Amino acid sequence: MEGFWEHSLVIHAANFSVAVLCTLLFMAIFELVTKYNNWDEIKKGNISVAMATGGKIFGIANIFRHSIMHNDTLLVMIGWGFFGFFLLITAYYIFEFFTPKFKIDDEIANDNRAVGLISMIISIGLSYVIGAGITYK
């Protein structure tokens, strides 16, 4: 049992499991901060919500990618993942602040695909910036 926790397959499975659980938690938090229900809107065929949600999922996964590549322990990886998620959700509020002529959530809920696309690109793009900060030495 001594070398079990150091085996690369076990480490990979642990990283994967923690990243999936954190992604589910973070998506639940995103669900709380948006005015619309992501999964109900996606079920109805709302492309804007699907793009925005896909961008969030990609962004979270990319942050964990960088966190896994940079850190040696699960706890440190989780810490960087939470910090990266905090930055990503902060960017969501900044996006809302810099668009005073309309409400992001309302436009996405109304299937404004331009806003959904920009939301997706912001999440993906900033996840690369956040990831670069995590891997900076």
Per-residue pLDDT of the chain (137 residues; tens, 9 = 90+): 566 667 788 888 999 999 999 999 999 999 999 989 999 999 999 999 999 999 999 999 999 999 998 877 889 999 999 999 999 999 989 998 999 899 999 999 999 999 999 999 999 999 999 999 988 75
Which amino acid, one-letter code, is at 125?
Answer: G
Structure token pair of residue 71? 């850190």
Whole-prediction pTM: 0.88
Q: What CA dihedral angle connects 81, 30, 40 and 57, to 10 degrees?
A: -30
User: In Å, how far are 15, 24, 78 from 7, measured between CA atoms?
Assistant: 12, 26, 20
- For the CA atoms of 93, 96, 100, 103, the dihedral, rounded to the nearest 10 degrees, stands at -130
In degrees, rounded to 5, the angle at the alpha carbon of residue 53 between the alpha carbons of residues 134 and 88 is 30
Q: Within a 13 Å sphere around the CA of 72, how many CA atoms are in the beta-carbon half?
A: 1
CB 70 within 8 A of CB 134: yes
Residues sharing a CB contact under 8 Å with residue 135, sequence separation 6 or more, in sequence order: 66, 69, 70
Q: Which residues contact 40 (CB under 8 A, 6 or more apart)?
A: none
